[in-house]
């Protein structure tokens, strides 16, 4: 490491860490982003296929786009924002899911969310699965959609936390990739890559950050690690911060994995249309056909089912998806699709999952996790957001908030 001392060390260079770094740089405060991976972006990660299409293996949708700060960032970078409606706001293709069944499912799902909202506002907090109508034939599929939203089955998720999520229901995309825009926002920040942080020693006057590449000293640290990693790393802080470890444990990362398939003869399908695999159970995938008009299928897997497939390696996802598509579209369809990319987020040692949910009774862990310690340690990352958790804009907003807290603490210390 060229220079191992800084005013503020930022642990993790994802959406939150990058946003924090930019905020500090604007305030002319020296900072160093310490990132375990060989790239910036974290769970925001765009790769390209051979023809050059951007494939977002992590976040892809600018959720709450009308108030999402990444929109302005991407526009300032000269990127193209696509404002077409997302597949989930339109009827699915009727293949294997006729319109009358879609209408019945839609009605059952709306009723579920209404009950969930009512339950979420009651005390004490319970599992979101309390909102199921035991006699409803669509419970399996509602739970499947729940795993796409939360990364976990509804029985594992806090009703209060689920209800706390704020969504304006405006969803846009960056044609060049959400991950591309987020990583590029880190250009110009002082960064050290391939450098996992092992421990933050807060015993001395200055903080000592032990990394795989040596020790960094800093006045202040902003921790943006995924909550699952904070929960798992018993020796992350010295002395330990049991409140933080416990809060992080209340906010596990759910699992969502995306598989991209190439599709020949794609024009047969409407751009941004969608198919459901099975409609009678939770263990199934959803298929976005021709995302952004491209000759691709983006397959989404969630929750326990995604975890089981991860155990079978990358091929397990492709085998499952192709079998389900062939079941819906006929044997000839097999020749038209080819696996392109998948990333197994639970197996990723620097993520351990996809996005956070709160366990029942643990919604307030988000506030506890976000609280600063001693004016020297600050916390950011999607799991710290009370209303925008599990998203890249939640990461951004908590990163800026943590940087502002660090700036205010510096001013107090200097006064
Ligand atoms: C499949 C999938 C789909 C998604 N879809 C969307 C979507 O459509 N819209 C949306 O808004 N969000 C979506 N998300 C969620 C979104 O990607 C995340 O919420 C967001 O990127 C999290 O940002 P963050 O900065 O909080 O965390 P991260 O991006 O995880 O950043 C933390 C950083 O810490 C690093 N790190 C880990 N361990 C160490 C260590 N020991 N030392 C140093 N660094 C370390 C990591 O490598 C990472 O770069 C999706 C996520 C996935 C996986």
What pLDDT band is residue 2 in, cutting at 50, 70 and 90? low
Which ligand 1 atom is the nearest neighbour of the CA of 257?
1
Mutate to test the pocket of ligand 1, among 22, 58, 232 (most ligand atoms within 8 A of CB): 58
pLDDT confidence of residue 234: 81
244-295 tens-digit pLDDT: 999 999 999 999 999 999 999 999 999 999 999 999 999 999 999 999 999 9
Average pLDDT over residues 218-232: 98
287-346 tens-digit pLDDT: 999 999 999 999 999 999 999 999 999 999 999 999 999 999 999 999 999 999 999 999
Q: What is the pTM of this model?
A: 0.98
Cα of 280 vs centre of ligand 1, distance in Å, is 31
Mutate to test the pocket of ligand 1, among 35, 43, 65, 229 (most ligand atoms within 8 A of CB): 43
Average pLDDT over residues 166-190: 98
Count helices and strands (H / E) in the chain. 12, 19
Main-chain dihedrals φ then ψ at residue 213, nearest 5 degrees: -110, 20
Average pLDDT score over the chain: 97
Q: Is 96 near ligand 1, meaning CB less than 6 Å away?
A: no
**What is the rounded CA–CA span in Å between residue 251 and residue 157?**
10
In this prediction, what percent of the chain has a pLDDT beyond 70? 99
Average pLDDT over residues 116-144: 96
Write the DSSP assignment of 339-403 as a string of letters.
Answer: EEEE--SSS-TTTSSSEE-PPTT-TTHHHHHH--BTTTEEE-SGGG-SSSTTSHHHHHHHHHHHH
Average pLDDT over residues 98-110: 98
Which ligand 1 atom is the nearest neighbour of the CA of 12?
34
> Which residues neighbour 10 within 8 Å (Cβ) at sequence distance 6 or greater?
17, 20, 21, 24, 31, 32, 33, 34, 221, 222, 224
Average pLDDT over residues 51-63: 97
Where in 5-159 does DSSP place strands (E)?
5-11, 31-34, 46-48, 54-56, 81-82
**What is the rounded CA–CA span in Å between residue 339 and residue 322?**
9
Which ligand 1 atom is the nearest neighbour of the CA of 382?
26
Cα of 36 vs centre of ligand 1, distance in Å, is 12
Cα of 104 vs centre of ligand 1, distance in Å, is 35
pLDDT confidence of residue 273: 97
365-402 tens-digit pLDDT: 999 999 999 999 999 999 999 999 999 999 999 999 99
Q: Is 164 near ligand 1, meaning CB less than 6 Å away?
A: no
Which ligand 1 atom is the nearest neighbour of the CA of 343?
1
Neighbours of 152 (CB within 10 A): 27
What pLDDT band is residue 138 in, cutting at 50, 70 and 90? very high
- Residue ID of nearest Cα to ligand 1 atom 34: 12
Cα of 88 vs centre of ligand 1, distance in Å, is 23
Given a cut of 80, is residue 185 above it in pLDDT?
yes
346-355 tens-digit pLDDT: 999 999 999 9
Tokens found for residue 290: 């021709």
Q: Is 15 near ligand 1, meaning CB less than 6 Å away?
A: yes
Main-chain dihedrals φ then ψ at residue 117, nearest 5 degrees: -60, -45
Which ligand 1 atom is the nearest neighbour of the CA of 198?
41
Average pLDDT over residues 183-201: 98
Among 397, 46, 15, CA closest to 226: 15
């Amino acid at each position: 490491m060229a220079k191992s001392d800084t005013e503020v060390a930022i642990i993790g260079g994802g959406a939150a860490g990058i946003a924090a770094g930019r905020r500090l740089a604007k305030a002319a405060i020296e900072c160093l982003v310490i990132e375990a991976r060989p790239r910036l972006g974290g769970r925001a990660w765009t790769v390209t296929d051979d023809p050059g299409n951007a494939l977002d293996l992590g976040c892809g949708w600018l959720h709450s786009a009308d108030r999402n700060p990444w929109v302005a960032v991407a526009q300032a970078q000269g990127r193209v924002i696509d404002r077409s409606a997302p597949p989930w706001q339109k009827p699915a293709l009727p293949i294997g899911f006729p319109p009358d069944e879609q209408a019945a499912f839609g009605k059952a799902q709306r009723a579920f969310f209404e009950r969930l909202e009512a339950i979420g506002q009651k005390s004490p907090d319970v599992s979101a699965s309390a909102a199921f109508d035991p006699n409803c034939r669509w419970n399996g599929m509602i739970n499947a959609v729940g795993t796409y939203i939360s990364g976990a089955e509804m029985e594992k998720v806090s009703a209060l936390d689920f209800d706390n999520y704020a969504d304006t229901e405006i969803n846009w995309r960056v044609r060049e990739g959400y991950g591309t825009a987020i990583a590029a926002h880190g250009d110009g920040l002082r960064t050290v890559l391939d450098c996992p942080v092992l421990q933050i020693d807060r015993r001395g006057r200055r903080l000592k950050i032990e990394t795989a590449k040596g020790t960094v000293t800093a006045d202040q640290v902003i921790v943006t690690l995924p909550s699952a990693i904070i929960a798992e790393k018993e020796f992350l802080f010295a002395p330990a911060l049991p409140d933080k470890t416990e809060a992080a444990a209340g906010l596990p990362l759910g699992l969502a994995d995306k598989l991209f398939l190439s599709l020949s003869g794609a024009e047969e399908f409407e751009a941004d249309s969608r198919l459901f695999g099975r409609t009678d159970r939770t263990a199934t995938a959803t298929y976005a056909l021709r995302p952004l008009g491209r000759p691709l299928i983006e397959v989404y897997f969630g929750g326990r089912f995604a975890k089981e497939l991860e155990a079978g390696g990358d091929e397990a996802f492709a085998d499952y998806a192709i079998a389900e598509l062939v079941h819906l579209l006929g044997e000839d369809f097999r020749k038209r699709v080819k696996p392109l990319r998948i990333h197994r987020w639970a197996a990723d040692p620097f993520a351990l999952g996809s996005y956070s949910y709160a366990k029942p009774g643990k919604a307030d862990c988000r506030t506890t996790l976000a609280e600063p310690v001693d004016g020297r340690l600050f916390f950011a990352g999607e799991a710290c957001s009370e209303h925008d958790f599990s998203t890249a804009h939640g990461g951004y907003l908590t990163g800026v908030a943590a940087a502002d807290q660090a700036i205010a603490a510096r001013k107090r210390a200097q006064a």
